[in-house]
Amino acid sequence: MVKNASAHIEDKELLNKYYSNGNNQWLGILLERYTMLLFGVCLKYLKDEEDAKDAVQQIFLKVVTELPKYKVEYFKSWLYMIAKNLCLMKIRERQGRIPVELTDNVSSGEEATSKSDLLEKDRTLSLVEEGLDELSEEQKICVTLFYLQKRTYHEITATTGYSLLQVKSYIQNGKRNLKLIVEKKMKKVHG
């Protein structure tokens, strides 16, 4: 009965209800709504039904712990990003590389350099993800909203409550700090 009663409620409204009172019932409705989508995404990447089911459970746990930390506006997009990142991390752990089916189709002449380029990009993305966690909370939030969620300065001020000047400063300093962190990590990796 509850499921049917909440079917007409949009994601944004459910998120607002969750943020206003912290009741996980609202989050449960959202997660139930996207369970099959998550399973499909995980299955696409992991190519194994049991691994995909496990990944969905891990995503649920990650959402429960991460969602309170951020003011997410577009739940479906955010959830997809969480799922994709978790699956790619699992693939890296399992194989130490990106599987060929996830890479772009390339001709055999370019294949060797393209695979190494893709591996390098993947490593860089991993370092960026790690680097984000080393930024101050304000910088991390603003950089994530601006670069990953493609939000405008004004949307970020509305979402976070920071002033326009603060948002611009957090993004500028966060970007600079992130670049320094990634460069430092790359030096360690390469040598």
The answer to which of 39-43, 88-92, 134-138 has the lowest mean pLDDT is 88-92
Q: Are residues 4 and 81 in the same domain?
A: yes
**Structural domain contains residue 102:** no
The answer to whether residues 129 and 179 touch, using CB atoms and an 8 Å cutoff, is no
Domain hosting residue 163, numbered range: 116-191
The answer to whether residues 182 and 126 touch, using CB atoms and an 8 Å cutoff, is no
Query: By C-alpha distance, which of 72, 98, 73 is closest to 84?
Result: 98
**Structural domain contains residue 79:** yes
Output Rg (C-alpha) for the chain, integer angstroms.
19
Q: Are residues 125 and 186 in the same domain?
A: yes
Query: By C-alpha distance, which of 62, 11, 60 is closest to 38?
Result: 60
Q: Are residues 143 and 72 in the same domain?
A: no
Q: Are residues 146 and 187 in the same domain?
A: yes
Query: By C-alpha distance, which of 107, 102, 77 is closest to 90?
Result: 102
**Structural domain contains residue 186:** yes
Cα separation of 147 and 109, whole Å? 34
- Statement: residue 110 has pLDDT above 70: no
Residue 114 has what pLDDT? 61
User: At a CB cut-off of 8 Å and minimum separation 6, what does 45 contact?
Assistant: 84, 87, 88, 90, 91, 102
Question: Sorting pLDDT into bands at 50, 70 and 90, what band is 107?
Answer: very low
The answer to whether residues 174 and 132 touch, using CB atoms and an 8 Å cutoff, is no
DSSP letter assigned to residue 109: T
Q: Are residues 134 and 190 in the same domain?
A: yes
CATH number at residue 8: 1.10.1740.10
The structural domain count of the chain equals 2
- Statement: residue 127 has pLDDT above 90: no
Residue 113 has what pLDDT? 47
**Structural domain contains residue 166:** yes
Q: Are residues 3 and 80 in the same domain?
A: yes
**Structural domain contains residue 53:** yes
What digits encode the pLDDT tens for the residues 1-56? 445 577 788 999 999 999 999 888 999 999 999 999 899 989 988 888 999 999 99
What digits encode the pLDDT tens for the residues 4-14? 577 788 999 99
Cα separation of 26 and 144, whole Å? 24
Q: Are residues 4 and 84 in the same domain?
A: yes
Cα separation of 103 and 178, whole Å? 26
Q: Are residues 59 and 121 in the same domain?
A: no
- Statement: residue 121 has pLDDT above 50: yes
